[in-house]
Structure 1
Amino acid sequence: MDEEITFGPRDAAPLASGNHEAIVIDIVTNNYRVKKVYVDQGSAVDIMFYRVFKELGLKDDQLTLVRTPLVGFTGPPISLEGMITLMVTVGQAPKCRTVPVNFVVVKQSSLYNVFLGRPALNALRAIPSTFHLSVKFLTPGGIAEVHGYPEVARACYLATLRGQKKVIAQTTCLEPYIPGDEAQQLDTQDEVEEFPLREDRPDQVLRIGALLPAKEKEGLKALLREYSQVFAWSVDDMPGIPTDLAVHHLNVDPHFKPVKQKKRSFAPERNEVIRAEVGKLLESRIIMEVYYSTWLANPVLEDVR
């Protein structure tokens, strides 16, 4: 991580940079991708607005009391709801970094969800360029460059001029973040290509990026087919899993008396489904039949749509 960070002629400047737009990016925190994050080099604190705090599933009792008010260039001091430390990921794997950020939480209306101020930028050792509308910082995978969304910044600016702050602020700006899900992680709409894993099983289909280079795509297909045995399409593909590899047991205190549920009756078609699924598990030796005279749990059917 000793490379030099520079901005030069090779870094394309978006046309919007001529309009002096703000740098607005995305971050990942608390298993959510948070949009409309304002990179504010003029702020001495990192700010999260209370509505976003609640949408992230956080509770008021997680806040640390802060008595010092937030003071800006104009207007009266703003009281803080408190402070919370969250792990924040900026960038896209493998060029990304995760750092702890101390957010002060305020109950104010804003077109943005979060202000990343100097503390977060310094923790990332980030170098913003307002001309290029991007932020660069060092990562173990090399120099990461996070580009801003000038159209979002422009829309927020115009909404402010039109007095539409409350309308824009109420729009949904969070997305659940699933680690390893590239479509979610990169927030792209890349096309995918389906291909059968085995020629004799056309129903076993995997998906890979359609825009991969031809050589890389063929290599990936060959690798997946070589290790096709690791994919389980049904319980029939997982016979006799050794208990030293995986085992499921109920973590029940032996001092508690077992409870026998009242036997539940199912409709004939549901009984057939239960019988078939249990039969598959028995044939694959994933479960075994045992008898308990004092304990019983009814099967639960779930609708998967």
Structure 2
Amino acid sequence: MEKRSRLEPGSQITFRVEEAKFPNHDDALVVSVRIANARVKRVIVDTGSSADVLYFEVFKRLGITKGDLTPLASSLTGFMGDFVSPLETTLLPITIGEEPRTETIMTTFIVVDLPSAYNVILDRPTLNKLKAVISTYHHALKFLTSSRVGVVRSDPKESRQCYLTAVTMPKRPRPIQPPLDPRNDFKTPRHSESTEQLVEVLLRRGRPDKVVKVGMTLPEADQIQLVNFLKENADVFVWYPEDMLGVNPQVMQHHLNICHEAHPIKQRPRKFAPDRQKAIDDEVDRLMGARFISEVRYPRWLSNIVLVKKPNGSWRMCVDYTDFNRACPKDCYPLPRIDHLVDATVGHELLTFMDAFLGYNQIQMAP
């Protein structure tokens, strides 16, 4: 078995089978390095970590003052999802290897005040700076230096002692959470109510039902400008489906581009509970009254109704058009990506959201 990694032209790092002095082990790779001109043992090489960690007890023994620390706002996330609040960070030189094959780099350590069986955790960024290659089978770490290839080997006794220390250390108490109710996974999440104060603005005289709400946190000048704008354009707002004038068919119509080889499909009727059936009847009556839909006695295609629960507890009536969609060719022009739309708002002071309020019902179907 041979493991190679070509890091630079003409340079190779090689592991040979005969180099494995302790082949029958599964211990972690624990080495010793020099940090700030002091020999530090029990340094674990962790390729799964994304941060170089220096424990506070070791930090104090190195003789470094707290004035050399830099505040850190973020926190660390452990393997179990728990959060660790680091003290601060510090930039220190780290030397790995033995003379004459050594390598020294500057490393930013995150200082944490926690009990640990190790003194330091070396992570991926530092290993990449050292151009190091790790072999857990050989229990060794190799890296390039100006004097060919350097090597650092782990002591199995030290690794085993760190492991025994880690498993015997007292665990930090974790907050006890009540058992989760699996039924909550099927409950519709409720939207948090806005705590912003709103003021109702009457857009049309004599119609107290036609009002809009404006946030009180807007500056007074912006409030006046917004209210005047809404009143000047009150005719474009609708509160009931019957108020919709619809789009002239000469301007736009819905066309169904059904493939010629497709055969009409009539879905089998579904049964609904009484409360759902009432919601369907009410919605159909509303759409019929607004002339959005009309009755067809002998349809070639027949699709079932699907009810979806809204966050406020009411029902949204949809139609199962899966068979219809299969019979129509796919649109090769998708909608814009949401991140592109958000990026387009850069440089603007205000972002307005509009509720289309069943606007698609204003476009009629072509005969």
TM-score, normalised relative to structure 1: 0.51
CA distance in 2, matches of 1:95, 1:154: 27
* Structure 1 Cα separation of the partners of residues 68 and 137 of structure 2: 38
1:104-253 equivalence runs, <5 A? 104-163=110-169
Q: Distance in 1 between matches of 2:59 and 2:31?
A: 18
Superposed CA deviations along residues 228-275 of structure 1, whole A, max 9, x for unmatched, are: xxxxxxxxxxxxxxxxxxxxxxxxxxxxxxxxxxxxxxxxxxxxxxxx
- Unaligned runs of at least 5 residues, structure 1: 167-305
* Deviations 1:138-166 (CA, angstroms, capped at 9, x unpaired): 00111011101111110121223333799
Residue 44, structure 1, aligned to residue 50, structure 2: yes
Tell me the residue number matched to 2:40.
Answer: 34
Shift of 1:75: 4.6
Tell me the equivalent position of 1:6: 14
Q: Deviations over 1:37-66 (max 9, x none)?
A: 001111011000011011100111111111
Residue 49 of structure 1 contacts residue 114 of structure 1 at CA under 8 Å; is this kept in 2? yes
- 2-structure distance, mates of 1:150, 1:128: 16
* AA partner of residue 92 (structure 1): E
Aligned to 1:185: none
- How far apart are the structure 2 equivalents of 1:55 and 1:165? 24
72, 93, 96: which one pairs with 2:99?
93
What is the alpha-carbon distance in structure 2 between the residues aligned to residue 48 and residue 34 of structure 1?
11
Matched residue type, 2:22: P
Structure 1 residues 164 and 154: CA distance shift in structure 2, 3 A: farther
1:88–1:100 contact (8 Å) kept in structure 2: yes
CA drift of 1:72 comes to 1.6
Q: What are the residue-to-residue correspondences of 1:263-302 with 2, within 5 Å?
A: none
Q: For 1:57, which of 63, 76, 80 is the aligned residue?
A: 63
- Provide the aligned length of Structure 1 versus Structure 2: 164
Bigger mean CA deviation after superposition, 130-139 or 153-162: 153-162
Greater RCO (Cα-Cα under 8 Å, separation 6 or more) = 1
Distance 2:124 2:103 in 1: 16
Post-superposition offset of 1:73: 1.7
Larger Rg: 2
Task: Give the match for residue 254 of structure 1.
Answer: none
The answer to whether the Cα contact below 8 Å between 1:97 and 1:139 also exists between their aligned partners in 2 is yes
* 2:74 counterpart of 1:68: yes
2:101, 2:148 within 8 Å by CA — same for their partners in 1? yes
Is 2:95–2:104's contact at 8 Å kept on the other side of the alignment?
yes
Aligned mates of 2:123, 2:48 — CA distance in 1:
7
Would you say the 8 A contact 2:20–2:137 is kept in 1? no
| 3-state SS in 1 of match to 2:14 | coil
Q: Structure 2: which 5+ runs fail to align?
A: 1-7, 173-367
- Return closer, same or farther for 1:165/1:144 CA change in 2, 3 Å cut-off: farther
TM-superposed CA distance for 1:69, in Å, is 0.2
Between the aligned partners of 1:36 and 1:3, the Cα distance in structure 2 is: 30
**Structure 1 residues 48 and 91: alpha-carbon distance in aligned structure 2, compared to 1, 3 A threshold:** same
Give 1:277's aligned residue: none
Q: Take 1:163 and 1:106, find their aligned partners in 2: how far apart are those partners? A: 17
CA distance in 2, matches of 1:63, 1:47: 13
For residues 61 and 163 of structure 1, the distance between their equivalents in structure 2, rounded to whole angstroms, comes to: 31
Per-residue displacement from partner, 1:14-52 (whole Å, max 9, x unpaired)? Answer: 14xx23111111111112100110011110110000110
Using the size of structure 2 for normalisation, the TM-score is 0.43
The answer (yes or no) to whether the contact 1:94–1:141 under 8 Å persists in 2 is: yes
In 2, the alpha carbon distance for the partners of 1:156 and 1:147 equals 16
Deviation, structure 1 residue 95 = 0.4
* RMSD, aligned CA: 1.8
CA contact (8 A) 2:116 2:166 kept: no
Aligned-partner Cα distance in 2 for 1:161–1:80? 23
Q: Kindly indicate whether the alpha-carbon contact (under 8 Å) linking 1:110 and 1:165 is maintained by their aligned counterparts in 2.
A: no
- Secondary structure of the 1:10 match is helix
